[in-house]
Amino acid sequence: MQINFSLAQLADPHVAESEKILRKCVHCGFCTATCPTYVTLGNELDSPRGRIYLIKDMLENGRPADKEIVTHIDRCLSCLACMTTCPSGVNYMHLVDHARAHIEQTYKRPLLDRLTRAMLAVVLPYPSRFRAALKLAKLGRPFIGLFEKLPALKPVAAMLKLAPSSLPPASPNASPGTHAGQTKKRGRVAILTGCAQSVLDPAINGTTISLLTRLGIEVVVPEGEGCCGALVHHMGREDQALASARRNVDAWTRAINQGGLDAIIITASGCGTTIKDYGFMLRLDPAYAGKAARVSALAKDVTEYLATLELPEPVRKPGTVVAYHSACSMQHGQKITRQPKELLAKAGFVVREPREGHLCCGSAGTYNILQPDISAKLRDRKVKNIEATGAEIVATGNIGCITQIASAARLPVVHTIKLLDWAYGGEPPKMS
């Protein structure tokens, strides 16, 4: 692809980075075959190659974003399947992140769209606000049918449909403190409490802490950490995302300085992908670049970390047939494909992989709220493939996928860690 940025444009480090990425794309189109939106909509502009072209055109001409590019970039799930497929190593993630920030700075969205996005950005990353909003959602449920008929209010309908009818109590494990290992100390880790997951299913972290401490790992919940910033990062709200990243980097740096950390454990793969990118996100901030790179290097999905430990024989071998759904942020964002399945098999589960495992379930952060129609198509396709495995239960490592798949599947959906904890002597997972 011919690239023509001026020297003045390249003086902007964000443009310079995108130019490097654009130069790598040879326009072969291999990525189109695995792109969920291209597979669903069949429009080249809804494929990675089409979006790359639109982004190049916008950045090269120094143009503000227009309705066309916003439409096609908004439809991108940031699932990163294109990065797994691309033979040229095009870093589509950093390119589309830059495009989203450019859109946020240069494009005025319609009023309702702006209001919806602003509401998501001020509610979702904050557990107490999110909890209050989910309680309020009950009042709006009778109006779902009405909202669905009005295109501008479809995101509100989608939100109300996704809101659970009851919430588990807040977890005491979310409070800052240290959970000592219960056997001879084998390591020390911090755990991300995060935001939405701590409200929707606090037992995920509770179970993780229980399993790790039984294995002799000390688990620290550091003071001052919170949302990883992924939700707002994918909406192009860079300042808010970087503020979250800096706050977490500070919290984990204190924990590192107070006793060292072998890893920062993350139980939501969407968050893991972003935290592993903190080093890049904060590279231009001299006060944080080094600390952020250290945090990114320590970040590990819980299954990635467990796979490095010598595990004892499981207490029970359940023999349950499990469909393992690999979240996009797990398989494409972090390239973790083997470990969760191997851990489940070693723990005595029979693991089955659904067809089209590379395709997104349509959750993708706030995508199932902002793009409900495409999201529902992808969800139904995913559920059909999962149910065709004949499994008794679905395991996955991302709260977004759990909520999305559970909203349509007839079988229970749980976090992988709950099955592992059960096999290694914990409580059986609660099925909803």
Which C-beta is closer to ligand SF4: that of 332 or that of 418? Answer: 332
Q: How far is the CB of 177 from ligand SF4 (least distance, A)?
A: 38
Which of positions 5-34 make contact with ligand SF4 (CB under 6 A)?
25-31
- Mark residues 61-100: x for contact with ligand SF4 by CB under 6 A, - for none: ---------------xxxxxxx--xx-x-x-x--------
Q: Does 280 bind ligand SF4 (CB under 6 A)?
A: no
DSSP assignment, residue 330? Answer: I
Give, in degrees to the nearest 5, the angle at Cα 375 between 125 and 266.
40
Which of positions 189-248 make contact with ligand SF4 (CB under 6 A)?
none
Q: How far is the CB of 317 from ligand SF4 (least distance, A)?
A: 37
Which C-beta is closer to ligand SF4: that of 300 or that of 332? Answer: 332
Q: Does 159 bind ligand SF4 (CB under 6 A)?
A: no
Number of residues that bind ligand SF4 (CB under 6 A): 26
Which of positions 117-146 make contact with ligand SF4 (CB under 6 A)?
none
Distance CA(421)–CA(430), nearest Å, equals 12
Distance CA(102)–CA(184), nearest Å, equals 51
- 3-class secondary structure, 92: helix
Rounded to the nearest 5°, which phi and psi values hold at 351?
Answer: -95, 130
Q: Does 367 bind ligand SF4 (CB under 6 A)?
A: no
Contact range with ligand SF4 by CB under 6 A, out of 43-51, 141-149, 154-162, 336-344: 43-51
Q: Does 273 bind ligand SF4 (CB under 6 A)?
A: no
- Mark residues 373-412: x for contact with ligand SF4 by CB under 6 A, - for none: ----------------------------------------
Among 17, 19, 22, 51, binds ligand SF4 (CB under 6 A): 51
Residues facing residue 301 across a β-bridge: 266
Distance CA(181)–CA(211), nearest Å, equals 10
* DSSP H helices in 47-107: 48-60, 67-74, 81-85, 92-106
> Residue 30 in contact with residue 85, Cβ under 8 Å?
yes
> Residue 418 in contact with residue 345, Cβ under 8 Å?
no
Which of positions 303-322 make contact with ligand SF4 (CB under 6 A)?
none
Which of positions 164-193 make contact with ligand SF4 (CB under 6 A)?
none
Please give the structure tokens belonging to residue 98: 């830059």
Which C-beta is closer to ligand SF4: that of 86 or that of 199? Answer: 86
Residues of 48-84 as b/e, b for ≥16 C-beta within 10 angstroms?
bbbbbbbbbebbbeeeebeeebbebbbbbbbbbbbbb
- 3-class secondary structure, 420: helix
Q: Does 415 bind ligand SF4 (CB under 6 A)?
A: no
Nearest to 258 by CA among 224, 227, 304: 224
Q: Which residues bind ligand SF4 (CB under 6 A)?
A: 25-31, 35-37, 48-49, 51-52, 76-82, 85-86, 88, 90, 92
